[in-house]
Amino acid sequence: MKAITKHCILFLVCFFGVFHMEAQQATDSLKSYFNLGARFNYGVVFRHSKDLPIETQSNPMGYELDFAWHFVSQYARDYCNCYPKVGFSLYYWDYRNPDILGHGMTLMAFVEPFFNAHNRVSLSMRAGLGLNYQDKPYHPIDNPLNLAYSTHFAYAILLNFNANFKVSDHVKLILAANYNHISNGGIKLPNKGLNYPSFSFGVDYSFHKSRFNKIKTEDWKAETFERRWRKDFGLFLGFRGITDDENLYYVKGIFGQYAWQISRVSVFPFGLEYLHDGAELVRSRIYPSISHKAANKVSVYSGYEYLLGKLVLSFNLGLYVYSPDRTSSIIYQRYGFRIQLFKMVFAGLNLKTHGHIAEFFDVRIGASF
């Protein structure tokens, strides 16, 4: 505990020393407040797979800087019935297991809807996606116990829940519960991933007086929303590795879905997907026992989409209806986001997983009707 206390005090002293300044006054024309924040994180790496050795458990500490824009315009409120914040974070992680897990640095983009932002105590939820660098990847001789990651660079995913305590028009204290996940998306094996929930506390500083009006139900104009079915069609392209060589192989697919929009922010999709897995095709050529049809998979899925203007956050749960020589679970999850580029055209990024094991990332482009 003494070490944790020392880190926390150092963290707060540095923050207030750097940002001891007089704030500028906000103007009515402002559409967003620029926020600068800092947080201290303390977590636990847990063995989410029996294949991970007990030596990988630890209690990581993280130092975080946030750069964000908190939107206050009527346009932003009409989209999500909230005051959304978007920005990016810089992390330094000490996994406190130097011989196996080492250290990491993360650059992450995030979106964070705020609810009851006008109150002295408000709640928010943050979803983030970024790139992580680790300095102690798996090596068969030098670091054989690190089955969590085998590449220096990996993807980082964050989901957290925040309690925000307003101290003044410029300063908020933050308490948060976080779920952190790091994976290379199946590019190179072993890739069990790092999963570490953490708690954090910190400070957000607004360079303008941040004042939020209470959002009333009647302010959410009925004509800005129409309950409707939406049809989406698109293509996706990803890549993944196998244990038999160091190459990457393409995963190509097509999907179509009906999506039922029940409110301005909530959509429930129902879809069908076909993919051709180049990695499975190569494995079928190496191992005669694997069917040459193993590369082809068909699945159905459903889930939930959260709308934030042109940005859509999604979670889908899928079920294979055709999957020869399937060795993974019959059920999979997909996490993603997409951006509406034009009226009918969208692009997105998705992560497909089987339980706690990431299979691959893919890039998508499609059309909505």
Q: Return the CATH number at 266.
A: 2.40.160.20
Shared domain for 296 and 264, answered yes or no, is: yes
Better pLDDT: 215 or 231: 231
pLDDT band at residue 15 under the 50/70/90 scheme: very low
Residues 91 and 132 in one domain: yes
Please check whether residues 63 and 137 belong to one and the same domain: yes
Contacts of 69 (CB under 8 A, 6+ apart): 32, 33, 34, 35, 85, 86, 87
**Higher pLDDT residue, 109 or 192?**
109
| Residue 120 confidence class, pLDDT cut points 50, 70, 90 | very high
Measured distance CA(284)–CA(290) in Å, rounded: 5
Would you say 11 and 38 are in contact if contact means Cβ atoms under 8 Å apart?
A: yes
Q: Give me the residues paired with residue 49 across strands.
A: none
Do 238 and 189 lie in one domain? The reply is no
Whose structure tokens read 């294949």?
Answer: 51
Instruction: Say whether both 294 and 151 belong to one domain.
Output: no
| Residue-range definition of the domain harbouring residue 333 | 225-368
163 with 174: CB under 8 angstroms? yes
Alpha carbons 18 and 20: distance in angstroms, whole number? 6
- Number of structural domains, the chain? 2
Q: Do 195 and 254 have their domain in common?
A: no
Q: Using the 8-state DSSP alphabet, how is residue 182 labeled?
A: E
- How many angstroms separate the CA atoms of 162 and 159, rounded? 10
How large a percentage of the chain has pLDDT more than 90? 47
pLDDT for 218 beyond 50: yes
| Of the residues 206, 236, 270, the one at which a domain ends | 206
